[in-house]
Structure 1
Amino acid sequence: MKVPEIVKRIGKIDGKRKIYIEDYVLSYLERFKIEETEGNERIVLYGKRERNSCEETYIIYGAEKRDMRGNAEKESFFSECEEVGCLNTDMWKHTEGMCEGILIGDGNGGQPIEGYYIFYEKEPVMGKYLGLTYEEEVKRVPYARQSGKKEEEEKAASSQAELVALSQTEVLPESPVYDIIRAVVICIFIIICAMAITTVNNFEKMEEFKEAAVEMNEALEEP
């Protein structure tokens, strides 16, 4: 296995284990400082490994988010490579370094590393994968916007329907305070009517009394 040309060293290099990571792979891993992953997802590292009596050598050409359940939706983009490690996203997010969280072993786990070498591939497979990933994300953006617009239209239609339904409903029952006020007004009206009737009756009686007095006075004046 041909060892790539070294561009930069990160961290402490173990004499018995040398690790080389392509620069595009690190660019992809950087997004998982922020991006969330689900419980069944793993960031798998792909590449080649070689062991001899003196040392182990790992060359990492790619990294990919994978569903670790048995029924994978599609074949890995890096199927020609083997799984040589994974990324522990929790460790990766909570460190400012570029080593903590990178595990060498297989797609489900491995041993943490203290350092590695960065290299550039002349025809990086990871660069092609990043290009395809970017195209898929660009295609999803209009769909997400369209879905959001549809949800807003459905909410607006629902609100309009509620307003129409509310306008067609009967008047809500009156409050207890309003009932008391109405009862008081009715009582006052009844009292006024009673007083008016009493006044009219008394006036009629007074007129009858006055007429009777006049008639008696005329009778007394006759010879």
Structure 2
Amino acid sequence: MEREIPRNVRQIGNISGGPKIYVEDYVDTFFGQISDQTEEIRGAFLIGEMEDKEHPDYIYITGAIQMYELKRDGNTFQITEETWKNAYEDCKRYFGNATIVGWFVSAPGIPAEINDEVIRTHENAFPNTYSIFVMRDLREKEDYFYVNKFNDLMKVSGYYIYYEKNPAMQNYMIASRRKNGLTISESVEDRAAKSFRNLIRTKGELEDQKQSIHFMRIASSFLILVMLVMGITMINNYDKIQSVQKSLEALTESAQSEQEAKRVSVDRTPSVGLKKELEENAVEKKEINKEDAAAKSGEKTTEEKTKQEASDWKEGAAEELEEGSQGDIYVVRKGDTLLSISRKVYGTDENIASICKINGLKENDFIYVGQKLLLP
């Protein structure tokens, strides 16, 4: 059964090519502990696994065992038989039948670079292809990984640190602290579990944020939909309002047209009086002609008749006039017009405006029989 690729990982450097190296977080912590303890040279065997030893895609470093007898000769290192013996015993005690896949070195004063002596030491101790060599730069506190490929140690540009429960490495770290004579006030912190929990919590927060964003997107979409519906409704209502407004305008225009027709009708009414005036003028002309004929025949002239009619009218008019609070009152008779009344009462056409003004009329307004007019 193939090992499942870790999901909770932290990338260090740039990952390119293969194989991909995964270092468990307890192992990375152990590298830091043994390097910070002293300024002396420190080393460790790497415990790990490869699914395909000939062409592995992934190399997992799951544990580390400290080299207590690691020696240095100039710029190279010596791994003694006693060192190997103690390493095998610790590996079996804490990691069972696990495989040693490489080694780690932290050496003060030595550049974190490999040389021919280091390559030869590695080939003698770890001849297998894809074995691992890790060297720590104490000044930068960075680890440099190398893989044995093509009969050479090839530098790896990046690797992964992954987090999971690792009780075997945790127990070994506690034991190694006792062996190094360090005071232990409490057991080694379950850093992997804590980191894992932190990652899970972070993921949970991210999920909550995603859910919030998703909810906000849904709410925004719903709001946009509501606004669209409201906009369409407003457009429809606007069309209805426009239709009602047009209907009102049509009704207003119709009412105005009717009012205008009535006004025109009223304006035309006085034309009857004008017609009568024309007829009277024609009658006067006839009277003049008659006067001429009467003069010849010895009858009374029109002027004499007019004087007689005026005298008769005054006598009749005296009966029709009444005393009003503001002056005389004239009762309209059949055939009367404002013009004829002005002529009858004042003997001139110039008092029409005065009669209209005192009675609140216009010169062309219609008057009716029995209507009482104030006379100025």
Structure with higher RCO (Cα < 8 A, 6+ apart): 1
Q: Rg larger in 1 or in 2?
A: 2
Query: TM-score scaled to structure 2, two decimals?
Result: 0.31
Query: TM-score scaled to structure 1, two decimals?
Result: 0.50
